[in-house]
Structure formats: C-alpha cells, structure tokens
Amino acid sequence: MVPMHAFANPLRFQRITDAVFPYAAWSTLLLTPVALVWALFVAPADYQQGEAYRIIYVHVPAAYMATFTYAAVAAGSFVAIVWRHPLAEIAARAAAPVGAVFTAIALFTGSVWGKPMWGTWWVWDARLTSVLILFFLYLGYILLHDAFDDPVRGARAASILALVGAVNLPIIKFSVDWWNTLHQPASIMRLDGPAIDGAMLYPLLTMILLFKLYLVTVMILRIRLHVDERKILNLRTSAADRI
C-alpha cells in the first residue's frame, strides 16, 4: 500500500491526475447531454407537481454535492492540520469555491421550487437555515485563506473553521427528522429503499454522477493551478532572499 504522505509529492500527484483527468473530463462532457435529456424530457411528469418537479434534477444533486464537497474540505483540512499534508490543504482550498457554487445553486433552486409548492420563496426552517449556514461557512473558509499576510496562518485558520463547521453536516442531513419542517424527508437514502419510482430515480442518480464527475474534473484543474501558484511564490521568495 502506498503511504498517504507519498501523495504529497507534486510529481506523483501530477502523474496520477494526468491519468485520471482525461477520463473525468470526457465522461463529464459525454454524460451531460444524456443526463439532461433523460431528466428534462424522458422522465415522466409527477402526478401532483406536473412538470415543475423537474427542478429536482438540479436541486437535489446540487444540495447533495454541497454537503459532499464540504465533507471533502473538512477531511482535507483535518489531514492538513494533523499530518501537515501540503496537497490536502491545497485540495481543500480548491474544493471550497466549487462547493460554495453548489450550495448557492441548491438555495436558489430550492427557493424557485418552494414558491409554487409552499407558496413562499423562503422559510426559516431547520433544513433551509442549516444549508444557508453551510454557504456562509464556505464563504468564511475562502475569505480566511486571504485574511492573513502569512499564507500558512491563513490556511490553518481556514482549516480550523472547516473542521468546526463540519458539525453542521449531520444537522443538514437529519434536520427533517429532528424538527418539523416544510422540507420533505429523505427520498433516496432510506433504510427501506428509495421512495421514488425508478423512471424518476435513475435519471436523478445519473445527474448526481454527472455533478460528481464535474467536481473531480474541476478539482484537478484547480489543484494544479494552486500547485503552480505555490511554486511561483516559492521561486519569488527564494529570489528575494538571494538579493
């Protein structure tokens, strides 16, 4: 088994991503039209909500990826703090803006869906409020990275915030079970199986897979960018020390 610290080597990471990136990028590109056509045109209309329910094919994957990505940010932050793994901190930093966009999409589409279904754009129930807090946690993490003159201090402060904010993830997940909310309970990840018919479930799972492939593709690009930025910063620092 390859030890975890071996992946801290940028050259090893470069070789791994060079192998993974084409598959992730082409899979994302090819799956996009398939998933969109299946979800928006092939899947049947809901017997109660009609065509309006199709927003779930964007809302549900975005909401799922918002929490999934934050879990990745928290995991990377934990590894960076405990084992001083440089690529873990870079990966967490690279994931945060993508997760923030997922969260913003989930909040926006949830509001658009809530208006015809609930009669209001927003309610301060547990699920919606905890997802809004997640969005602010993402913003706080991103801002903290640039709030210090010392990048190391900024990264550490952001990592601590990410770990503290991770307590919000189970609140988001179980809020509909712990409190009375307008938000419907879980429909896919249930002990007794999904509560959605297969004709609607499979295109939804395909959209979730598409969002995950997109995350992997963008993450690789962003990590490479941050690694290159760090190399340039180190070169400038070394050059300044020699003057």
- pLDDT band, residue 130 (cuts 50/70/90): very high
pLDDT greater than 80 at residue 190: no
3-state secondary structure of 50: strand
pTM recorded for the entire structure: 0.89
Pick 193 or 218 by higher pLDDT: 218
- pLDDT band, residue 174 (cuts 50/70/90): confident
Residue with tokens 């990966």: 91
What is the per-residue pLDDT across 60-74, written as a single tens digit (0 to 9) for each?
999 999 999 999 999
- pLDDT band, residue 209 (cuts 50/70/90): very high
pLDDT over 90, % of the chain: 56
What Cα–Cα distance (Å) separates residue 12 from each residue in 22, 88, 89, 223? 17, 14, 17, 13
- Tell me the one-letter amino acid at 232: I
Burial classification of residue 163, based on how many CB atoms lie within 10 Å of its CB (0-12 exposed, 13-18 middle, 19 or more buried): middle
pLDDT greater than 50 at residue 153: yes
Pick 20 or 4 by higher pLDDT: 20
Residue with tokens 């209309």: 45
Residue with tokens 């071996």: 6
Residue with tokens 């709030």: 147
> Which residues on adjacent β-strands are paired with residue 46?
50
- Lowest model confidence (mean pLDDT) among 40-49, 142-151, 193-202: 193-202
pLDDT greater than 80 at residue 92: yes
Residues 176 and 184 sit within 8 Å (Cβ to Cβ): yes
Q: What separation, in Å, do the N-terminal and C-terminal C-alpha atoms of the chain show?
A: 44
- Lowest model confidence (mean pLDDT) among 122-126, 141-145, 169-173, 218-222: 122-126
Mean pLDDT for 132-154 is: 92
pLDDT at 231: 77
3-state secondary structure of 166: coil
pLDDT greater than 50 at residue 137: yes
What Cα–Cα distance (Å) separates residue 113 from each residue in 39, 83, 105, 174, 194? 16, 43, 12, 21, 21
Q: Whole-number mean pLDDT of the chain?
A: 87
3-state secondary structure of 46: strand
The ranges assigned to domains in the chain are 22-42+53-179+195-242
Quote the tokens at residue 177: 């079970």
Residues 93 and 155 sit within 8 Å (Cβ to Cβ): yes
Residues 176 and 183 sit within 8 Å (Cβ to Cβ): yes
Q: What are phi and psi of 46, to 5 degrees?
A: -75, 140
pLDDT at 197: 79
